[in-house]
């Protein structure tokens, strides 16, 4: 068995025993790039990226490829043009194994160090930029697997084992409050409230000291409440459970979140009491969905509840409820920017789905995930499918939702007429359904279209309405988007001070809860940076560019990674433009392509 370890100091092992490593750091750089690139790279590209200073770059590449073949002991690999790995069935790469949903979770506890630890190529700035982004992305994928393992163990009642995985997630990303909440919940469910409260204090102090923010109420509540644990004693059986389930759903739909959650927790308690596993699964799924969509800062608890629901629905064969639970988990991961785990849950949901209504919802979320990642062909395919299926089954809210995400994708690509058509359809359906809780999103996108067309007064009216409603709804995503739009509106009017005040407010609003929608936060940061650079405010822009680059890389938002490099170029980084072109080469966005060629 051949094992290639790229996490930590790189090493090659055969049957668990280290073998002679290839000579030179560039050999490791070459191997990692070929193994981890989205598609096999061409020889010319590899030679220019890694060996441009050599007298014969292509000759240097051939020598390094031959050196790798000797070290790996496989004579027929790393050949052709483009260069493909083709390692064979008896070879594994630790990064690919650890980030695969099909791999076991035990090796995750042994992961230490970053990708290609100790390997730096200052003479190859394009590779260094790629490696920095890949380090963030790989670290985020390992973190996502650790979190998924911990949540799954919690849902299965194995809290003691979950602690180890949650602890490693905190160690990998201590600034993510959700990781601390997961550890606190795990400790509490082991029956150790003292340890749970101690971890709460650690997190509160760290967030206050390092980030200047206060932890959410959900963190401390996690120390005393389990995932789907009812807070109210059961009453009278199946009829009561069904009644509470319907009452909870109605209350949530009406915006009475606290009352709705109480009813849904009662429904869970009643279903447990009467030992109705199918009803228990439906109640848990409804509770998990409410925690995710209706309550702020409750995604961690919602994820644990949904994992419990999947275990039950799998056992009872409740296919329809299982589809919903899988889709909702995919949505949680999407919002957090954990693309791999999001796609895994959504793929399972799609495999289980049968009806137009189910498939419309799944394709909608998959399209959103692909759009966030910058994969527009996949996004359009999923979103068109979602809109058509929603229209076919007369699911007007799903149709409106998917049309708005479709409009956003067209807007980002500069396709204003197509964006306007999709938004007109979305807004018509939203008003028809009186779906006020969703209205600020398409309103803000429409206002951005108006800004692009120079219709500032029209945009102002839409943005002011969206801002007021977003604040009334207390929705950080809508608030961030509306404030961003108001910032750009004032920039267009030439009011620099008002523009920056609104944009700073947008950055705060979009980041004020731990379970924020990461794409919106990154989109806002990009606007703040662009406006600051347009006014030569480099002191404000510089630290935000670093934040955007790190966030976009961790959350696999490829287009925003490229934009962060373009901002670095404007700040005077001589190598950033070449890196931006390398990282943006495979993104199908005419606007981005123009920006790269015009820079």
**pLDDT tens per residue across span 7-52:** 999 999 998 899 888 988 899 999 999 999 888 999 999 999 999 9
Name residue 2's beta-bridge partners. Answer: 14, 91
Q: Which two tokens stand for residue 587?
A: 């993104």
In tens, the pLDDT along 276-308 reads: 999 999 999 999 999 999 878 899 999 999 999
pLDDT score of 420? 98
- What DSSP designation does 106 have? G
In tens, the pLDDT along 366-425 reads: 999 999 999 999 999 999 999 999 999 999 999 999 999 999 999 999 999 999 999 999
Name residue 91's beta-bridge partners. Answer: 2
What distance in Å separates the CA atoms of residue 248 and residue 97, rounded to the nearest whole number? 42
pLDDT score of 224? 87
Q: Give yes or no for a contact between 2 and 92, defined as CB atoms under 8 angstroms apart.
A: yes
Q: Give yes or no for a contact between 501 and 457, defined as CB atoms under 8 angstroms apart.
A: no
pLDDT score of 98? 77
Radius of gyration, alpha carbons of the chain: 25
Residue-averaged pLDDT of the chain:
93
Residue 102: pLDDT band by 50, 70, 90 thresholds? low
* Mean pLDDT along residues 319-336: 98
DSSP class per residue in 425-444: HHHHHHHHHT-TTTTHHHHH
- What DSSP designation does 84 have? B
Residue 106: pLDDT band by 50, 70, 90 thresholds? low
What distance in Å separates the CA atoms of residue 552 and residue 137, rounded to the nearest whole number? 9
What distance in Å separates the CA atoms of residue 50 and residue 274, rounded to the nearest whole number? 66
pLDDT score of 504? 97
pLDDT above 50 (res 214):
yes
pLDDT score of 435? 95
Residue 96: pLDDT band by 50, 70, 90 thresholds? confident
pLDDT above 60 (res 189):
yes
The position carrying tokens 């979140």 is 257
Residue 97: pLDDT band by 50, 70, 90 thresholds? confident
Angle, in degrees to the nearest 10, between helices 125-155 and 538-554: 60
Cα–Cα–Cα angle for 295, 436, 523, nearest 5°? Answer: 70
Phi-psi domain of 374 (left: phi exceeds 0; alpha: psi -120 through 50; beta: other):
left
Residue 591: pLDDT band by 50, 70, 90 thresholds? very high
Q: Which two tokens stand for residue 483?
A: 């404030």
For residue 476, the tally of other CB atoms under 10 A from its CB is: 22
């Amino acid at each position: 068995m051949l094992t290639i370890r790229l996490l930590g100091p790189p090493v090659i092992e055969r049957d668990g025993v280290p073998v002679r490593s290839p000579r030179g750091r560039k050999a490791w750089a070459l191997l990692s790039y070929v193994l981890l690139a989205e598609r096999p790279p061409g020889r010319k590209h590899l030679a220019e990226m890694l060996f441009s200073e050599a007298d014969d770059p292509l000759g240097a590449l051939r020598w390094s490829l031959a050196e790798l073949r000797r070290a790996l002991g496989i004579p027929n690999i790393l050949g052709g043009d483009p260069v493909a790995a083709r390692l064979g069935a008896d070879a594994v790469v630790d990064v690919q194994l650890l980030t695969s949903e099909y791999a076991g979770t035990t090796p995750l506890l042994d992961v230490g160090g970053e990708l290609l630890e100790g390997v730096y190529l200052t003479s190859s700035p394009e590779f260094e930029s790629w490696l920095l982004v890949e380090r963030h992305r790989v670290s985020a994928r390992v973190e996502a697997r650790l979190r998924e393992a911990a949540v799954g163990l919690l849902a299965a009642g194995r809290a003691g084992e979950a602690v180890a995985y949650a602890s490693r997630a905190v160690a990998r990303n201590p600034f993510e409050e959700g990781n601390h909440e997961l550890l606190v919940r795990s400790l509490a469910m082991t029956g150790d409230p003292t340890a749970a409260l101690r971890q709460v204090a650690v997190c509160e102090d760290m967030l206050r000291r390092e980030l200047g923010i206060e932890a959410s109420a959900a963190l401390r509540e996690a120390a005393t409440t389990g995932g789907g644990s009812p807070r109210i004693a059961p009453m009278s059986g199946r009829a009561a459970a069904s009644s509470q389930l319907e009452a909870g759903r109605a209350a949530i739909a009406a915006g009475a979140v606290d009352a709705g959650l109480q009813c849904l927790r009662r429904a869970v308690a009643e279903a447990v009491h009467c030992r109705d596993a199918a009803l228990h699964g439906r109640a848990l799924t409804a509770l998990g969905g409410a925690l995710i969509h209706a309550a702020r800062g409750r995604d961690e608890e919602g994820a644990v509840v949904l994992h419990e629901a999947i275990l039950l629905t799998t056992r009872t064969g409740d296919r329809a409820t299982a589809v919903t639970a899988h889709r909702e988990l995919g949505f949680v991961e999407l919002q957090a920017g954990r693309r791999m785990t999001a796609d895994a849950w959504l793929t399972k949901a799609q495999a289980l789905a049968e009806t137009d209504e189910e498939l419309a919802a799944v394709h909608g979320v998959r399209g959103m995930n692909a759009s966030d990642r910058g994969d527009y062909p996949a996004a359009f395919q999923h979103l068109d499918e979602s809109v058509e299926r929603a229209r076919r089954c007369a699911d007007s809210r799903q149709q409106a939702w998917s049309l708005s995400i479709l409009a956003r994708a067209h807007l980002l690509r500069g396709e204003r007429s197509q964006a306007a058509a999709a938004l007109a359809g979305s807004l018509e359906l939203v008003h028809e359904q009186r779906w006020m809780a969703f209205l600020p999103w398409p309103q803000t996108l429409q206002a951005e279209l108006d800004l692009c067309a120079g219709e500032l007064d029209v945009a102002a009216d839409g943005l002011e309405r969206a801002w007021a409603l977003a604040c009334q709804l207390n929705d950080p995503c809508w608030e961030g988007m509306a404030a961003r739009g108001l910032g750009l509106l004032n920039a267009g009017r030439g009011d620099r001070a008002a523009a920056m005040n609104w944009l700073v407010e947008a950055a705060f609003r979009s980041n004020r809860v731990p379970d924020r929608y990461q794409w919106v936060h990154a989109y806002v940061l990009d606007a703040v940076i662009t406006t600051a650079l347009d006014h030569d405010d480099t002191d404000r822009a510089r630290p935000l560019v670093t934040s955007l680059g790190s966030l976009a890389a961790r959350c696999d938002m490829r287009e925003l990674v490229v934009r962060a490099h373009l901002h670095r170029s404007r700040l005077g980084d001589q190598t950033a433009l070449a890196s931006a072109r390398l990282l943006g080469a495979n993104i199908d966005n005419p606007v981005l392509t123009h920006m790269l060629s015009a820079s």
